[in-house]
Amino acid sequence: MAEEEAPTQSTSRLDNPGTLLQSVSTSLTHEKITILPGYEPDYSACTFCLWQEDHTLGNALRWIIMKDPDVEFCGYTAPHPSEPKIHIRIQMYDNHSAVDCLRKGLSNLRDLLTTVDASYKSSLDSGNYIKENDVDVRAVVDNTLRERGFAVEGDDERMDTTS
Amino acid sequence: MSQSNIEARRHVQVLPERVGNVAGSEFPGHYPGEDHSWNLEKFKKNLVTSVQRLTPSTVEFDLVGVDASIANALRRVMIAEVPTIAIEEIYVWNNTSIMQDEVLCHRVGLVPLKVDPRSLKYRPSSHAQPHETDTIVFDLQVRCDKIPGVDPKVEKDPKKLYYDSNVFTGMMKWQPSGDQGKKYKGKAPKPVDEDILLVKLRPGQQVDLHCFARKGVGADHAKFSPVATASYRILPQITLRGPIPLEHQEKFQKCFPPGVIELKKDEQGEQQVVVANARKDTVSREVLRHPEFQDLVQLSRIRDHFIFSVESVGQYQPEELVPEAIKILLSKITAVEEGLDKLFSADAQVA
């Protein structure tokens, strides 16, 4: 699996030589997730900061959390393009815990993706689709050139070998 | 709520000068008396994934029943986070070609390499010593010379005048280190295409490069992206709201790309306009420019029907890219969950 290959958890797999990420975070290590100041003591309204995540996870997570009927509000933002992090704000009805909601959202998203994966693989295994070769662009170009009376590279050599 | 109205919610309206009903609204509490909370069973029932076309380089598939945020996450991961192997560092021992070292190295770095990215690890840090588990070495040593006995006054073709006047990617030689020879038996690392021209040489010029290939992701540099393109479009739909008069039928047909609209005889033997294949439509909205058609047709798109088109550069088989992307998304989820565990175990210790 990818996790065991990735260096350390907090710096993540994006931490490659020459990345923009490195120049921003130099030697600091960041927690993957923190709760920003100003949260409700019972966690009924929190803003989470996810380090080294972007719209990829942010928007998907926002959508699945909004599917929870106990959620009053959920939104996310990437505060600045040169900081590799996102903020996810969750506000709950009836003093439910936003942390539990986030955990539930993550697990629902996992279920969703596993379902899509299985569905894709079964469609692929069914073999019920068009299988064909790629268009040979070079052959098409060469043919057009020949039709229009231009010399095609390689043609004379081929003639040489046959003669 | 009637069935037709629920169906209408799936439609993104395409109007002459604007789009309507763009964002999905199926969230809990939006429609009174309806349950739109997350339901895995319902999702499984509605989800349709159907591969449409597979070639050695591309896969096209339909993904129906997911939100745009999920489809977009898949697309983004395929482009920017599915890892591949590419040349990261080069020692230029010699380069007397007319191309500057850095320009040549940049070109060599962009060459897609046929190495299974799952067989290598990420380099632990940018200062780490290269290791056989995270680095693959290529040498590129080419020298151009005159072919003896060819008269340059008569022969002008460089290919017949010189040896190795063109340096191609196929001339890169893999240098196995450690157990790599055994590990890559029968699937030796090599460039995906062996006929990419890197630089041209003239007699006496030579290049001698020692290249280190590493594992990386497209977010770092586009050369690591495993897809030439990964994109989706939303399925177009054309609804005829009334019969098109006979005299306008051909004009109507010509408002769409070939194959979208067909003219067919109905049971009474009268020619009618039918939508044959809306999938082929480019949604140019040409039809809406003609006043005679304005009330007779409605253009829309099905919001949750995504038509994906993924073209692999060659490191992966095209059909492998989606499962790889899903694997990476799952690992992101796990990373956040572990972060949460750590956050609250730290909290518990403080308290």
**pLDDT for residue A23 is more than 50:** no
**pLDDT for residue A5 is more than 50:** no
A97 Cα distance to chain centroid: 27
Residues 6+ apart with CB under 8 A from A137: none
Does residue B195 lie in a domain region?
yes
- Selected residues 14-73 of chain A with any CB under 8 Å from a CB in chain B: 14-19, 22, 31-35, 50, 53-57, 59-60, 62-64, 66-69, 71
Total domains, chain A: 1
Residues B56 and B91 in one domain: no
Element (H, E) at A24: helix A20-25
Q: What does the pLDDT look like over A130-153, one tens digit per residue? A: 999 999 888 999 999 999 988 887
Q: What does the pLDDT look like over B326-338, one tens digit per residue? A: 999 999 999 999 9
- Grade residue B3 by pLDDT with cuts at 50, 70 and 90: low
Residues B101 and B114 in one domain: yes
Residues of B in contact with A9 (CB under 8 A): 335, 338-339
pTM: 0.88
Is the CB of residue B238 less than 8 Å from the CB of residue B259? no
Residues B199 and B147 in one domain: yes
Whole-angstrom distance, CA of residue B85 vs CA of residue B135: 9
Residues B177 and B47 in one domain: no
Whole-angstrom distance, CA of residue A138 vs CA of residue B95: 31
Q: Do A33 and B53 touch (CB under 8 A)?
A: no
Q: What is the pLDDT of residue A59?
A: 96
SS3 A130: strand
Element (H, E) at A74: strand A71-77
Contact B332/A at CB under 8 A? yes
Q: Do A22 and B126 touch (CB under 8 A)?
A: yes
The CATH number of whichever domain residue B149 belongs to comes to 2.170.120.12
Q: Which of A34, A53, A123 sits opposite B332 (nearest CB)?
A: A53
**pLDDT for residue B119 is more than 70:** yes
Contact A74/B at CB under 8 A? no
**pLDDT for residue B210 is more than 80:** yes
Residues B202 and B154 in one domain: yes
Does residue B32 lie in a domain region?
no
Task: Pick the more confident residue, A25 or B159.
Answer: B159
Q: What is the pLDDT of residue B32?
A: 92
Contact B32/A at CB under 8 A? no
Does residue A82 lie in a domain region?
yes
Report residue B350: phi and psi, to 5°: -65, -40
Does residue B186 lie in a domain region?
yes
Mean pLDDT across chain B: 93
Residues of B in contact with A57 (CB under 8 A): 73, 329, 332-333, 336
Q: Do A112 and B66 touch (CB under 8 A)?
A: yes
Residues B62 and B88 in one domain: no
Q: What does the pLDDT look like over B217-246, one tens digit per residue? A: 999 999 999 999 999 999 999 999 999 999
- Taking alpha carbons only, the member of A15, A134, A117 closest to residue B228 is A134
Nearest chain B residue to A66 by CA: give it: B27
Residues 6+ apart with CB under 8 A from B87: B108, B109, B111, B113, B138, B211, B212, B213, B214
Q: CA separation (Å) from B68 to A51, A56, A75, A157, B9?
A: 23, 11, 16, 53, 15
The CATH number of whichever domain residue B49 belongs to comes to 3.30.1360.10
Does residue A94 lie in a domain region?
yes
- Taking alpha carbons only, the member of B119, B88, B131, B224 closest to residue A17 is B88
Residues B204 and B106 in one domain: yes
Residues B134 and B188 in one domain: yes
Residues B159 and B115 in one domain: yes
Does residue A55 lie in a domain region?
yes
Residues B193 and B114 in one domain: yes
Place of tokens 């604007």: B18
Is the CB of residue B51 less than 8 Å from the CB of residue A101? no
Residues B129 and B113 in one domain: yes
- Grade residue A24 by pLDDT with cuts at 50, 70 and 90: very low
Residues of B in contact with A102 (CB under 8 A): 340
Q: What is the dihedral of CA A95, A101, A103, A105, to 10 degrees?
A: 180
Contact B56/A at CB under 8 A? yes
Residues B91 and B64 in one domain: no
Q: Do A115 and B337 touch (CB under 8 A)?
A: no
Contact B29/A at CB under 8 A? yes
Does residue A48 lie in a domain region?
yes
Query: Using H for helix, E for strand and C for coil, what is the string for chain B?
Result: CCHHHHHHHCEEEECCCCEECCCCCCCCCCCCCCCCCCCHHHHHHHCEEEEEEECCCEEEEEEECCCHHHHHHHHHHHHHCCCEEEEEEEEEEEECCCCCHHHHHHHHHCCCEECCHHHCCCCCCCCCCCCCCCCEEEEEEEECEECCCCCCCCCCCHHHHEECCEEEHHHCEEECCCCHHHHCCCCCCEECCCCCEEEECCCCCEEEEEEEEEEECCCCCHHHCCEEEEEEEEEEEEEECCCCCHHHHHHHHHCCCCCCEEEEECCCCCEEEEECCHHHCCCCCHHHHCHHHCCCEEEEEEEEEEEEEEEECCCCCHHHHHHHHHHHHHHHHHHHHHHHHHHHHHHHHHC
Does residue A61 lie in a domain region?
yes
- Grade residue B172 by pLDDT with cuts at 50, 70 and 90: very high
Does residue A40 lie in a domain region?
yes
Q: What does the pLDDT look like over B51-110, one tens digit per residue? A: 999 999 999 999 999 999 999 999 999 999 999 999 999 999 999 999 999 999 999 999
Does residue A145 lie in a domain region?
no
Q: Which domain-ending residue is among B168, B195, B225?
A: B225
Burial class of residue A10 in the structure, from the number of CB atoms within 10 Å of its CB (0-12 exposed, 13-18 middle, 19+ buried): middle
Q: Which domain holds residue A117?
A: 27-126
Instruction: Find which of A29, A113, A114, A125 to mutate to test the B interface (most B CBs within 10 Å of its CB).
Output: A113
ipTM: 0.90
Q: Which of B36, B53, B58 sits opposite A67 (nearest CB)?
A: B36
Contact A143/B at CB under 8 A? no
Total domains, chain B: 2
The CATH number of whichever domain residue A65 belongs to comes to 3.30.1360.10
Does residue A19 lie in a domain region?
no
Q: Which domain holds residue B129?
A: 83-225
